Amino acid sequence: MTVCVFASSSSRVNNEYADAAVKLGSLLAEACIDIVYGGGGIGLMGKLADAALEKGGRITGVIPLFMKDEGWGHHGISEMIITPDMGERKRKMFAMADAVVALPGGIGTLEELTEAITLKQLGLFKGPIIILNTSDYYKSFIEFLEHMISDHFLRLEHKGIWEIAATPEEVMFFLSQNKGWIEDPRSIAKI
């Protein structure tokens, strides 16, 4: 199994976020689950990668050329895929992934997470999508998803697209219990 992890590149976040990234990287490596991520060497991305590598995990970075040229890539991972742009980066990451996990992050992480949800809603991605809600980071986003459902911008059935985990251990549980979703997502994509 390969898990795509989206996460912050900020090194200025509180320790509980970094601790969760380290724990998740360790747990994925110990479970022999491959990781594909944005290739960053700092922030939660860097913490996740360092922890996975320390445990002997296999991790692949996918980074756009301009970010590589800026020196933002992780220098210790075994495989770094260079893409021409951000769009191709996401396409490559989704194509490699059996599941998606979103750690806390900024606008880029949010954009990646919402694209994953959209792709699954349309039947273009089939794997689990897990939101790691460390310290209730995603509380407002989750409430907004509920608001979309209550105001009929999403169907109630669409809540099955994502799982919400409070801890890295819960992420691992959801990965092991992948119950799938519906056979034909497009049958309910039209509201």
Mean pLDDT over each residue of the chain, to the nearest integer? 95
Answer whether residue 188 is part of any domain: no
Neighbours of 114 (CB within 10 A): 13
How many domains are there within the chain? 1
User: Looking at residues 107-117, what average pLDDT do you find?
Assistant: 97
**53-68 pLDDT, tens per residue?**
999 999 999 999 999 9
Whole domain around residue 22: which residue ranges?
2-176
Answer whether residue 191 is part of any domain: no
User: Looking at residues 64-92, what average pLDDT do you find?
Assistant: 94
Answer whether residue 46 is part of any domain: yes
User: Looking at residues 147-165, what average pLDDT do you find?
Assistant: 95
Amino acid in position 26: S
What is the pLDDT, as a whole number, of residue 189? 77
Answer whether residue 48 is part of any domain: yes
Does the pLDDT at position 179 exceed 80? no
Answer whether residue 166 is part of any domain: yes
Answer whether residue 6 is part of any domain: yes
Does the pLDDT at position 191 exceed 90? no
Beta bridge partners of 35: 3, 59
Cα atoms found within 13 Å of the Cα of residue 60, Cβ hemisphere only: 17
Structure tokens at 30: 């110990």
CATH label of the domain that carries residue 169: 3.40.50.450
Structure tokens at 135: 């310290």
What is the pLDDT, as a whole number, of residue 181? 85
Q: Which residues contact 120 (CB under 8 A, 6 or more apart)?
A: 126, 127, 129, 161, 181, 185
* Percentage of the chain lying above the pLDDT 70 cut: 99
